[in-house]
Structure 1
Amino acid sequence: MLTVNKILPQGLGLAPVLLKRAATVELDWDVRQKSRFDATDSQGRHLGVFLPRGTVVRGGDVLVTESGDMVRVLAAPQPVLVITPCAEHGSPFDLVRAAYHLGNRHVQIELRPDRLQIEPDHVLADMLRAMHLTVREASEAFEPEGGAYAAGGHGHTHDHGHSPEVNPPHGAPGHVHGPGCGHSHAHDHAHDPAPAPAPRGKPIGIAIKIEAAPHVHGPGCGHDHGDGHGHKH
């Protein structure tokens, strides 16, 4: 058995020629949403897959074995319900309404520009037909939308990290921080130091009154010494 403990989303970083040469393994959605499973690849090799918990495997991902072998994942066709607007009096907006009601029921949905796909459920099929949508059964690869805040899978995710730009591209507005921008603003701004509180109790430094030496008049003392002192002879 080959042990798989690494996954490359969509074969990221691999040359196309390596992807074409790699063995393949077909997996339906029930298996691909698990992080631990067994499978057999196109070369007849038994795979024991042990991925980090919460990992979701998508069609086009590449599994890497402990020995470095690569196995490309194919999303296997499986029974699904294909939901489209009524050809006579429907509109694309009907798909938005359908996705809203299905989402309220926590149904896994594959979103496409012209249709929705869900796993078979006759109750949901009746509800959708009552909303004047067309529902048909088919066998298709199923890739439901990943949760916007899912910690596990790597469905349609993009890195929107805002690294600070000293000189943003010409014409591109810089990011303005403010309420609702979603960034954590640590209060580490430089503020003028607050005035020191008034001392409480007896001050440590006590002024000492020093008695000045009595002034002695004489030459150079700078005082005007008139001759009218009235000396008695």
Structure 2
Amino acid sequence: MSAAALLQVARLIPQGQGLAPVLLRRAACLSLDWDTRQKSRFQAEDSSGRVLGVFLPRGTQLRGGDVLLAEDGSLIRVEAAPQALLRISACAEHGSPFDLTRAAYHLGNRHVPIELQPGYLQIEPDHVLAEMLRAQPHLQVQALDAPFEPEGGAYAAGHGHSHDHGQDHGHAHPPHHHHHAHP
């Protein structure tokens, strides 16, 4: 397909903020795996059969629930596509939350993308890491297909999981300042 036939997409509306739910329900969908969602330039086909040329600022990472705005004004809802993953959980009978903390520590030392959930961790398949985790006491490692939403990291570009002090999310935060020194 020629470049002229591509519908260009260059705007991102994180999590569809400010858009009416009815507009989001009517929007075409774009189901993408993690590998594609961390690219800033790619070509894909949406649920309406349109071929999209996505050109986002470098470093942008798309998350499930994000909305793209095409050059013709149409909206495209991003979905995290199921993909092959490893789910790490603590043994229900003998394990503890600390077992998952230890697993997250070891995975973090290897700088692999990790999805953190209260009851489990998820990583992309890696047989060496799977064996390391299975060797840990009280951990279970299960292969499955599921959407993957890894943590963005403290210095990641884009809009990973953030904590906006100006947003009302069920509890108050007193005003505070972060003191730090520069040499």
Which consecutive unaligned segments of at least 5 residues does structure 1 have?
Answer: 162-171, 186-233
Matched, 1:34 2:31: no
Structure 1 residues 58 and 173, CA gap change in structure 2 (3 angstroms): closer
Q: How does 1:1-233 map to 2 (within 5 A)?
A: 1-132=6-137, 133-150=139-156, 152-160=157-165, 175=176, 181-182=178-179
Q: Give per-residue Cα distances to partners, 1:183-232, cap 9 Å, x unaligned.
A: 679xxxxxxxxxxxxxxxxxxxxxxxxxxxxxxxxxxxxxxxxxxxxxxx
Instruction: Indicate the residue corresponding to 1:164 in structure 2.
Output: none
Structure with a larger share of its residues in strand: 2
Q: Give per-residue Cα distances to partners, 1:73-96, cap 9 Å, x unaligned.
A: 111000000000023311111100
Structure 1 residues 184 and 16, CA gap change in structure 2 (3 angstroms): farther
Which consecutive unaligned segments of at least 5 residues does structure 2 have?
Answer: 1-5, 167-172
Match of 2:87, SS state, is: strand
Q: Return the letter of the residue paired with 2:35.
A: D
Structure 1 residues 115 and 173, CA gap change in structure 2 (3 angstroms): closer
Structure 1 residues 16 and 104, CA gap change in structure 2 (3 angstroms): same
Q: Aligned equivalents of 1:93 and 1:157: distance in 2?
A: 24
Q: Aligned equivalents of 1:173 and 1:57: distance in 2?
A: 31
Q: Aligned equivalents of 1:87 and 1:93: distance in 2?
A: 13
Structure 1 residues 4 and 184, CA gap change in structure 2 (3 angstroms): farther
Q: Aligned equivalents of 1:113 and 1:142: distance in 2?
A: 15
Cα deviation, residue 173, structure 1: 5.6
Q: Aligned equivalents of 1:120 and 1:184: distance in 2?
A: 41
Count of aligned pairs between the two proteins: 171
Bigger relative contact order (CA 8 A; separation at least 6): 2
| Aligned-CA RMSD value | 1.9
Cα deviation, residue 125, structure 1: 0.6
Structure 1 residues 174 and 11, CA gap change in structure 2 (3 angstroms): closer
- Percent of aligned positions with the same letter in both sequences? 69
Match of 2:36, SS state, is: helix
Structure 1 residues 184 and 111, CA gap change in structure 2 (3 angstroms): same
Q: Return the letter of the residue paired with 1:182.
A: H
Q: Give per-residue Cα distances to partners, 1:113-167, cap 9 Å, x unaligned.
A: 00000000111011111112100100000000011122x2201113348xxxxxx
**Normalising by the residue count of structure 1, what TM-score does the alignment of the two structures yield?**
0.69
